[in-house]
Chain A
Amino acid sequence: MKTLNEMKLSFPSKSQNEAFARAAVSAFIAPLDPTVGELSDLKTAVSEAVTNCVVHGYRRQGGEITINGKITEDRRVILKIRDKGVGIEDIKQAMEPLFTTAPDEERAGLGFAVMQSFCDKVRVSSKPGKGTSVTLEKRISHVR
């Protein structure tokens, strides 16, 4: 499938950049004229993924978060969100709703559940000690 547009974003792992990442992704997909719901879904999923990098990947120690974005001819938005943090030992367990390793930070354990519910596809690959990458995919509807 032909790629219509691409972007690369890189920023330090700080919680104020969660809002920056959402705003940047919103601007990137704006030419597809998404519905309010579609935009909100993607923003929410991105927010969850970036928060995971900040809270879990880097455990608040800081590091670099990158987002590679792509828009395909068939109106699919593909976002790969990556950190080089601690990685995930057990991806299956991490993706279970309500599972969290940060209850004292009041994390609800819903990050991956929200990503899965708000996107068409979610792929996670991780290596302990090397980092995690989460790929979100969502097709933006054509007709209003």
Chain B
Amino acid sequence: MRTTYENGVLTAFLDGEIDHDAAAKIRTRVDATAQSLKPRVLCLDFGGVGFMDSSGVGLVMGRYRAMKLMGGSLRVVNVPERLYRIFAMSGIEGLGVLR
């Protein structure tokens, strides 16, 4: 997973398959990076994700809460169309993080 940091925005480029196993690893890495950089915005880029189950939703909800606690916000970008269905089921659209 590649990350970039620019103008207070930490972007994590997620790739491969996001299941319960992968989500735990992503969460550890993203949280550690966010803790040290204290970004204004955390941006999760789903462009490279080929498969996702509901663990991806848990990952987004968890980062949403974590960023709120840090006084920042979350953005979710480049969600491939076929992954939208799970995000739609979760009601995550209501959080206003999906771009």
Q: How many residues of A contact B (CB 8 A)?
A: 26
Instruction: Give chain A's interface residues, CB within 8 Å of chain B.
Output: 15-16, 18-19, 22, 36-37, 40, 43-44, 47-48, 51, 54-55, 97-98, 105-108, 110-111, 113-114, 117
B24-46 interface (Cβ within 8 A of A): 24, 27
Please, could you name 5 A-B residue pairs with CB atoms under 8 Å apart, sorted by A?
Answer: A16-B21, A22-B17, A44-B51, A55-B20, A114-B54
Q: How many residues of B contact A (CB 8 A)?
A: 23
Chain B residues within 8 Å of A117, by CB: 85, 89
Q: Is the CB of A114 within 8 A of B53?
A: yes
Q: Is the CB of B53 within 8 A of A47?
A: yes
Q: Is the CB of B17 within 8 A of A19?
A: yes
Q: Is the CB of A19 within 8 A of B89?
A: no
CA distance A55 to B53 in the complex (A): 14
Q: Is the CB of A48 within 8 A of B27?
A: no
Residue interface bits B10-25, CB-to-A below 8 A is 1, else 0: 0000000101110110
Number of A-B contacts (CB under 8 A): 68
* Chain B min CB distance to A139 (Å): 19
CA distance A18 to B52 in the complex (A): 12
* Chain A min CB distance to B96 (Å): 18
Chain B residues within 8 Å of A19, by CB: 17, 19, 21
CA distance A97 to B90 in the complex (A): 8
Shortest Cβ distance from A45 into B: residue: B53
Q: Is the CB of A110 within 8 A of B86?
A: yes
Chain A residues within 8 Å of B17, by CB: 19, 22
Chain A residues within 8 Å of B27, by CB: 106
* Chain A min CB distance to B63 (Å): 9
Chain A residues within 8 Å of B19, by CB: 15, 18-19, 22, 47, 51
Q: Is the CB of A106 within 8 A of B62?
A: yes
The answer to whether B57 has its CB under 8 Å from any CB of chain A is: yes
**Given A15-B21, A106-B27, CB of A40 within 8 Å of CB of B90:** no
CA distance A105 to B57 in the complex (A): 12
CA distance A15 to B23 in the complex (A): 11
